[in-house]
Structure 1
Amino acid sequence: MTAETLSIPGLAKPASRIALGTWAIGGSMWGGPDDVNAAKTIDKALELGINVIDTAPVYGFGHSEEVIGRALEGKRDKVILATKVALNWQDGKVFRDSRPARIAQEIEDSLRRLRTDHIDLYQVHWPDPKTPLEETARALEKLVKDGKVRALGVSNFSPEQMDEFRKFAPLATIQPPYNLFEREIEKDVLPYAVKNNLVVLAYGPLCRGLLSGRMTVDRKFEGDDLRKSDPKFQQPRFGQYLKAVDDLKAIADKHGKSMLALAIRWVLDRGPTIALWGARKPEQITGVDEAFGWTLDEADMKAIDAILTRDISDPVGPEFMAPSARS
C-alpha cells in the first residue's frame, strides 16, 4: 500500500496521513494493557505504510511509551515519533502542568521510556491556565535547540492560545478532537491551521468506536472504559448516533467502502489533516488501505450533513475528556 503523505514543518520525513494512536495501548481507561497485541499492532502499522506513531506519558501512566520503545528497537529511524508533555498525575488523578520544571522532567522520562535520543514531534497535551504560555513555549524551544526535539505542536489549544505560544516558539501542528460527530474545530481551529500552515492531527476520528460501523445498541461498557462517562454512549443519544452510522453506510456503500474507511476519508478530505487511528490489536487497523485513493465530493459532504442534522437531535462534543487544572 502507498499511503498518502504530507509535510510537517520542521521534519525532513514526509508523514503518512494516517497515524497510529496509542491511547488504548497504554491500557488505562481501555480495559487494561495487552502488550503482545500492542507490539503486533505497531508492526502491522509499519507494514501498512503508517510512519507516524502518536503517544503520551499519561497513556497508561508511561506504559504506552514503554511498549512503543520496546517495539521500535531497530526500527526507530522508520517512524515519526510524536509524544506529549504537560499533564501530571497523583494517585491516578490527572491534571494540567506545563511548568518548565515539569517539562524538563517529562522529556527525560519520555526519552528513556521510548528508548530514543530525540522526539520528532513534542506536543503540549492540554493548556495549563496556571502557567504563562511564554514559560511553556520557551522551555520547549530550548529542547529544540538542545536537539532533544525536532518540532513542536500543541493539543486542545484555541487560536488565541496558539497565537500567544507562537510569539515565543514556532508551531508545526495542532491536535484537536475531530470526526464526523465532533466538528467544533471547523469554526476556528481548522481555518487557523490552514492560514498558518499548521498540520492538524485529528484525534478520535472514529469517535471512540462509534464510527467503526461495528457497534450495536446492546453494547455494554465495563470497568474503567471511558465510554461509561461519555454522553454519546448514553441513551437516548447512543441510539441517535448509531442510527446516523447506519444511514451513513449508504454513502460508504456507494463508494464500495466500509463505514470505518468513510469516517477516516471524511477527516482527510477536510484540510491539512492526519487522522489518528487508535488501535490495540492488529486486526483493528487492517482496513487502513481502504481510506486511501478516493475522495468524497461536495454532494457526499452535503448528504452526510443532512443525515447528521436529521438523526441527531441533541449533539454533544468531547468536553467530558478535559482534565482538571492544577490545584
Structure 2
Amino acid sequence: MATDTLMIPGLDTPVSRVALGTWAIGGWMWGGPDDDNAVRTIHTALDAGINLIDTAPVYGFGHSEEVVGRALAEKPHKALVATKLGINWTAEEKDRKLFRDSRPARIRQEVEDSLRRLRVETIDLQQIHWPDTKTPIEESARELQKLREEGKIRALGVSNFSTEQMDIFREVAPISTIQPPLNLFERTAEKTVLPYAKKHDAVVLAYGPLCRGLLSGKMNADTTFPENDLRAQDPKFVKPLFLSYLAAVDEFKEMAAKRDKSLLAFAVRWALDRGPVIGLWGARKPEQVDGVNDVFGWSLTEEEKNKVDDILARHVPKTIDPTYMAPPERD
C-alpha cells in the first residue's frame, strides 16, 4: 500500500505521491474507451493506496469524468478528485476542434458539468488546463475563487502556466498545485515550475512521468504509431531521434535493474525526487497499475542522479517539450 504522501494546501487529506491519470480512460486519442476495464483500473488503483484521481472534461469530451464518477460511486473510498477546465470544443464529432476558453461564464458551466459527471457536490482540486491569453487571467481566477467560496471547489491549481501567469493568478486567488510535464526527457519544469512551487508552498502534479510510454521499457526500434496516436506528432517518437531515446531508455533500464526496480518505478521515483512532486501514473487497464508501490520507500542516490544526467547528455542533450499538445487559442 502506498504510504508516501504530501499535503495539498486547501485539502485536509494527505495525498498519495502517485495519482492516477485518466486521459487514456476517456478514449479520445487512445484508441477508444473501454469503460468496464477503466472502472476496474480505478478500483485497482484505490486498492493500491492511490487516493488522488486526476481527470479533465477534454479527456473524451466528458467521458473520462463520467467513468471516474461511476467507478467512485461503485466502490467505498476516500479518494480525492482533481479535474480541469479551460478547454472548449466544437460540436461536430468528426474533425472536432479544440480551443482555450477560460471566460468566467465558461468556467462556471464547466464546474457545474464536472460536478454532475463526477457525481460529487464539491470538486477537491479544480485546475485551469491551459492558459487562455484572450481572457485576463485575473478574471478567470476571480470566478474560480467565487466558486471556491460557494463550496463547489476546495482547492485551485493551474496547468501549463508560466511563472508570470501564475503571479497574476495569485494576486486574486491561491494556487495549491501546478501541473507541468516532467519526466527524465522533459525537464524544463525543473528550472521554472519547481523553484516557483517551493517558494510559494504549492505541490507539483507532474504529468507524463513515463513520457507517453517511452519510459515503460516496452518500445523498440520497430514500434510504430497510427496517425491518430498523439505520439505520431512528437519528434521524440520519430526516427532517427527515436533511436537515440531508446538508447537512453536501455541505460535507464540497466540502472533500475541494479536497484531491483522496474523502469516505470525508476522513472517516476526520479520525478518525485525533484521536490514537492506527485507523479501522475496513467493507466487504462488494471495490470497497468501493477508495480506502483515499487515507487515508494527509496530514492535515487546522488551518484545515480549524476549518471542520469550523463546518459541524457550523451544520447539526447536537447530537451524537447511536448508543445505539440497545446490547444490553440480561440478565434
Q: Shorter-chain TM-score: which interval?
A: over 0.9
Counterpart among 177, 186, 196 of residue 181 in structure 2: 177
Deviation of 1:2 after TM superposition, in Å, equals 3.4
Change (3 A) 1:313 1:298: closer
How many angstroms does 1:315 deviate by?
4.0
Query: Equivalent of 2:197, from 182, 193, 198?
Result: 193
Q: What residue in structure 2 maps to residue 139 of structure 1? A: 143
- Residue of structure 1 in register with 2:31 after alignment: 31
**Cross-structure match for 2:111:** 107
Identify the residue that residue 57 of structure 2 maps to in structure 1. 57
Q: Which residue of 234, 240, 250 corresponds with 1:236?
A: 240
Structure 2 equivalent of residue 13 of structure 1? 13
- What RMSD in Å do the two structures reach over aligned CA positions? 1.1
Question: Conserved in 1, the CA contact under 8 Å of 2:244 and 2:315?
Answer: yes
CA distance in 1, matches of 2:3, 2:231: 31
Counterpart residue number, 2:295: 291
Does structure 2 conserve the Cα–Cα contact (< 8 Å) formed by 1:17 and 1:273? Answer: yes
Equivalent in the alignment of 2:79? 79
Residue 271 (str. 1) matches residue 271 (str. 2): no
Question: For the structure 1 residues 28 and 200, does the alpha-carbon distance in structure 2 shift closer, same or farther, using more than 3 Å as the test?
Answer: same
Indicate if the aligned counterparts of 1:54 and 1:81 stay in contact, CA closer than 8 A.
Answer: yes
- Report percent identity of matched pairs: 64
1:322 maps to 326
Structure 1 length-normalised TM: 0.98
Q: Secondary structure at the match of 1:157?
A: coil
Runs of 4+ in 1 over 2 A off after TM superposition: 74-77
1:98 has 2:102 as partner: yes
| Consecutive unaligned residues in structure 1, runs of 5 or more | none
Q: Say whether the 8 Å CA contact 2:190–2:274 is kept in structure 1.
A: no
The equivalent of 2:265 in structure 1 is 261
CA distance in 2, matches of 1:124, 1:218: 37
Structure 2, unaligned stretches of length 5 or more? Answer: none
Task: Name the CA distance, whole Å, in 2 between partners of 1:76 and 1:200.
Answer: 27
Give the drift of 1:109.
0.6
TM-score by length of 2: 0.97
Q: Secondary structure at the match of 1:122?
A: strand
> What's the offset of the Cα at 1:21?
0.2
Alpha carbons 2:2, 2:50 under 8 Å: kept: no
The answer to whether the Cα contact below 8 Å between 1:5 and 1:17 also exists between their aligned partners in 2 is yes
Question: Are the equivalent residues in 2 in contact too, given 1:28–1:224 (CA < 8 A)?
Answer: no
Corresponding residue of 2:124: 120
In 2, Cα distance between equivalents of 1:279 and 1:206: 11
Tell me how far 1:287 sits from its aligned partner: 0.9
**Would the aligned equivalents of 1:176 and 1:200 in 2 still touch at CA under 8 Å?**
yes
The code of the aligned residue for 2:164 comes to: E
Count the aligned residue pairs. Answer: 327
Rounded Cα–Cα distance in structure 2 between residues aligned with 1:122 and 1:147: 12
